[in-house]
Amino acid sequence: MKKMLTGILSASMLSLVLAGCGASDKPQEGAAGEAPKGEPQKLVISTWGFSEDFFRKEIYEPFEKEHNVKIVLEIGNNAERLNKVRQGSSDVDLIYLSDYYAQQGIDSGAFEKIDRSRIPNLNEIYDIAKAPLGEEYGPAYTIGQFGIAYNPKLVKTEVKDWKDLWNPELAGKLTLPNITSTTGPMILDSASVVAGSKEFNEDQAFAKMKEANKGVVKYYDKTSEYVNMFSQEEIAVGPIMEMYFKDIQAAVPEAVFVAPESGGYAVMNTVNIVKGSKNKQLAEDFINYQLSKEVQEKSAKAKVDSPVNTSVKLTDEEAKGVTYGEATVNKLRKLDMKFVNEHSKAWIDRWNREITQ
């Protein structure tokens, strides 16, 4: 009898232990810090598609695992992707766009207003990146610098600032962005600055562009055109985004990137939530994650995106090719994208009549 009782007690204890193990292996749903259960939610992200392997492994997969999410990508250029969203022909939740195109999305009512209280990492980023298009819309998750690159073997005069692009010695060696490109309005603004205007002056800007036109080999639309012309020595100098300088230097190691003395231009890529998204809070969680030190540091060290999180620290070597540091960022010029969008059609028409006729 005693042996039987002991056996029963032992079996009962074993059952409790096993039950306890089962409970720890399968936590209750909704408990703090535990991943949600069931089928993963789908989060559709509209983006450009560059460095896709990096983003998939280093950025998307950790978020998917932590939040029980399946991230689906919709790839294309700014204009194509924004048009799909505005036409309602996609189920996108989050969209990455340059600030120029993001402003168009805001003006057409394509985005949800974000809840900033759900994105605490906004407090960790540069002021210029927090609300580039207004407090109700998404932040810039990266800021690039639009500056100047040149080949010192072919350009004997040192290039230091925007005004140097008007040096007659650069005639036949110069490229400038087309007005229809993302950076086209920036070169037009720089022409106004070089003309001596404190505020943007359209007439003076176009007059100055006419002066430069005589020395321009070609107005480029895509960065790939610039890189090809530079590597083949068809050009030797021109404005370019710093993030693409590594491609130039790979072809021409002696190439130099210049942060203009009077200030480069801020090229900001934003992230916004699409109107009608059924995953708004999850999208806000992703934005907060995108701004975290961990993600920002990974992207910067891989030279994929320049960091906006001020706690990211890079060595001199790690900082090469990215726009980094408070002193650099605070010096950048920022265009009013609402003003740019309101005037872009008139500028394009005038450019076609007066500059590239």
Is the pLDDT at 266 greater than 80? The verdict is: yes
Q: Domain extents for the chain?
A: 41-143+267-331, 144-266+336-354
Contact by Cβ (8 Å): 111, 137: yes
Residue 137 tokens read as: 């819309």
41-143+267-331 maps to which CATH number? 3.40.190.10
Bridge partners of residue 333, in order along the sequence? 265
pLDDT tens string 300-346 = 999 999 999 999 999 999 998 899 999 999 999 999 999 999 999 99
Contacts 24+ apart (CB under 8 A), 315-324: 321/242, 321/243, 321/245, 321/246, 321/249, 322/242, 322/243, 323/143, 323/144, 323/145, 323/242, 323/243, 324/300
The number of angstroms, rounded, from the C-alpha of 255 to the middle of its chain's C-alpha atoms is 24
Q: Which CATH class is domain 144-266+336-354?
A: alpha beta
pLDDT tens string 83-114 = 999 998 789 999 999 999 999 999 999 999 99
> Is 144-266+336-354 in the same CATH topology as 41-143+267-331?
yes
Distance CA 81, CA 190 (A): 29
Distance CA 312, CA 45 (A): 25
Angle at 80 between CA 74 and CA 86, to 5 degrees: 90
Q: How far apart are the first and last CA of the chain?
A: 108
CA torsion angle for 5, 8, 10, 13 (degrees, to 10)? -130
Contact by Cβ (8 Å): 178, 221: yes
CA distances from 114 to 110, 151, 155 (A): 13, 44, 48
| Res 257: pLDDT | 96
Contact by Cβ (8 Å): 250, 123: no
| Res 36: pLDDT | 54
pLDDT tens string 219-262 = 999 999 999 999 999 999 999 999 899 899 999 999 999 999 99
pTM, full prediction: 0.83
The string of DSSP letters for 261-323 reads TT--EEEEEEEEEBTT-TTHHHHHHHHHHHTSHHHHHHHHHTTSS---BTT----HHHHTTS-
Contact by Cβ (8 Å): 269, 97: yes
